Amino acid sequence: MIERTAKEMLLTLTLLFLHFTTTGCSRRATGVAADFQGLRYFGYYADAFAGMTPITPEVLGHINVSWIGGDAADPASIVAALDYTKNHDLKAAISMPPSIFFDGNLTLAEHYQENWNTFAEQIQPYLENILFLYPVEEPFSQGNVAYGVPAAVMKNQLETVASVIKATFPSITLALTYSFVDFAPRNSAFADLPNPLPAGFDWFGFDCYGSWYSCGNQIVFQTVHSIPWYVNQIKSRLSAEQKIFLFADGFVSEANPPSPAHDLLEAGLRLELAERYYQLAASDSAVIGLFGFLFQDDYIEGSERFLGIRHWPELQKKYRQIGMTITGK
């Protein structure tokens, strides 16, 4: 394999920038949302999460959904974010504090009904602005890998959660996300369950980062597929009313040891991925939302810094264009 010099990598990146910023989206924003098959919503995951840099005002001009998250012990932050969405004509995707329904091992909490009653009272004034509730992040893969919760047990728990929530708000949309781990050939949601989509849930997200054609981890999970392959596995199990949303790969893991040329090349590849996610979402009637991950460029997980969309001007421009096309802003 021939190694590239920094100059060659920068040239490659420049060509990618020129291609994807001059060709742009195939459907231009005209002040009215484009006539997609099913795609209606755009935003950035964690744009209004407590404990992270808030970026909603910065992206307000091209989103129509704000992802809200906070701690059950500090409901004021969630209420404040809901106020903001209401006052700025946004829909709210609420990433609920997981402790409402789950304990630290992702089994049902002892007092989940009381916890839910309290939370429901807090969000009830904002129901018209709530796009969906998101009770827990990646429940199947988190539960299995971190805590050994079997897929069948997790599905039953999620169906209990859905039953409790919809007893209070019958028409509320419930959502959850699958990761590539959930498609492992053994000991996973899609391997162990004939239908891994829990009853009572309406929208199903998917995320896998790093590649379009070969995403996953062969060594640990024996799972590497294209993004469309994963989406099709979910789609084949949907009912007529259920929908899919996608998380677009918009961040670069900062190189360690530092390598600005490598980071820049990776950012150029994220431009290509942005267009691919957009085209997939716009062309598939089952896809209702596209959400960038991640906009902030100061998020650190362990020793890894995520250089999000904000860090890369051309990537910002690309996602702004995509968002305006989808939302009609």
Whether 147 and 184 have beta carbons less than 8 Å apart is answered as no
pLDDT at 5: 37
Report how far residue 48's alpha carbon sits from residue 56's, in angstroms, rounded to the nearest whole number: 6
Q: What is the pLDDT of residue 73?
A: 82
Q: Which of 214, 255, 208 is nearest to 9 (CA)?
A: 255
> What is the structure's pLDDT at 256?
93
Contact in structure between 81 and 66 (CB atoms under 8 Å): yes
Which one-letter amino acid corresponds to residue 211? S
SS3 content of the chain, % helix, strand, coil (to 5): 45, 20, 35
Q: What is the pTM of this model?
A: 0.90
Confidence at residue 35, expressed as pLDDT on a 0 to 100 scale: 56
Structural tokens at position 189: 């949601």
Q: How far is CA 192 from CA 40, 151, 175, 281, in A?
A: 32, 7, 21, 28
CATH number at 33-327: 3.20.20.80
Phi, psi of 87 (to 5 degrees): -80, -10
Q: Retrieve residue 3's tokens.
A: 């190694």
Which tokens in the block code for residue 237? 């199990």
Per-residue pLDDT of the chain (329 residues; tens, 9 = 90+): 333 333 333 333 443 443 444 345 544 433 445 556 799 999 999 999 999 999 999 999 999 999 999 998 888 999 999 999 999 999 999 999 999 999 999 999 999 999 999 999 999 999 999 999 999 999 999 999 999 999 999 999 999 999 999 999 999 999 999 999 999 999 999 999 999 999 999 999 999 999 999 999 999 999 999 999 999 999 999 999 999 999 999 999 999 999 999 999 999 999 999 999 999 999 999 999 999 999 999 999 988 999 999 999 999 999 999 999 999 99
Neighbours of 312 (CB within 10 A): 24
Strand partners, 253: 306
Cα–Cα distance between 254 and 307 in angstroms, integer? 6
